[in-house]
Amino acid sequence: MRITESQLRAVIREEILREQKITESYRIPPQGTLDAVIDAIKDLFRPSDEKRLSRAGDDRVLRDLTNELGTFHRTPEYKVAWENYKTLQRQHRSMDTNPSIEKSLARLKERMYQGYDTAEASLSQENRDIWGPGLDFSRRCMDKLWRAFENRKITAGGLLGMLDPAGIVESKRIRTEAR
């Protein structure tokens, strides 16, 4: 087998890097391997995230928040905003600058953030490492949505459509009018 010097160096470099990755993945600290073995065993028997959440009751709080946000189109605030929107649409009036739609959307926004605040206050702080990133991401998405509406990048109809992506409220309205 013929191999050049550069190929041999590449093979050796690859093997050294592979061994280095293996030692880094086990995180063997300089103080000793016994501590690393103990940490590995603790990792094996540490309760899972689901168990930690269920012990503290956080799983129920997160499930309730998810259900509330998923069925937001059924809340009275959403229905008032939707009715105001459809009334203004039928009258061919501007919907985004109208005080009645702005007021109902402000109540809708307040209810949504109140749900976030209530959930965050009820969740246990020792499990923040589990639920924190997801809740923060969800809140940032809602902030971005409302900021886009306030900056007139999306319309009131677009905002209401994003909060009811399945179009359930509108389809009920169409079915009622068809009868």
pLDDT value of position 32: 56
pLDDT value of position 42: 67
Q: Where are the domains of the chain?
A: 5-45, 49-178
Contact 85, 101 (CB under 8 A): yes
Distance CA 155, CA 157 (A): 5
pLDDT value of position 36: 61
Contact 59, 123 (CB under 8 A): no
Q: pTM for the complete prediction? A: 0.64
pLDDT value of position 65: 87
pLDDT value of position 113: 92
Write the DSSP assignment of 119-167 as a string of letters: HHHHS-GGGHHHHHHHHHHHHHHHHHHHHHHHTTSS-HHHHHHHHSTT-
pLDDT value of position 35: 61
pLDDT value of position 100: 81
Give the pLDDT confidence of 105-151 residue by residue, as tens digits: 899 899 989 989 999 999 999 888 888 888 899 899 889 989 988 88
Torsion 164-167-172-177 (CA) sign: positive
pLDDT value of position 41: 66
Contact 19, 12 (CB under 8 A): no
Contact 58, 71 (CB under 8 A): no
Stretches where the chain sits below pLDDT 70 are 1, 21-45, 96, 165-179
pLDDT value of position 2: 76
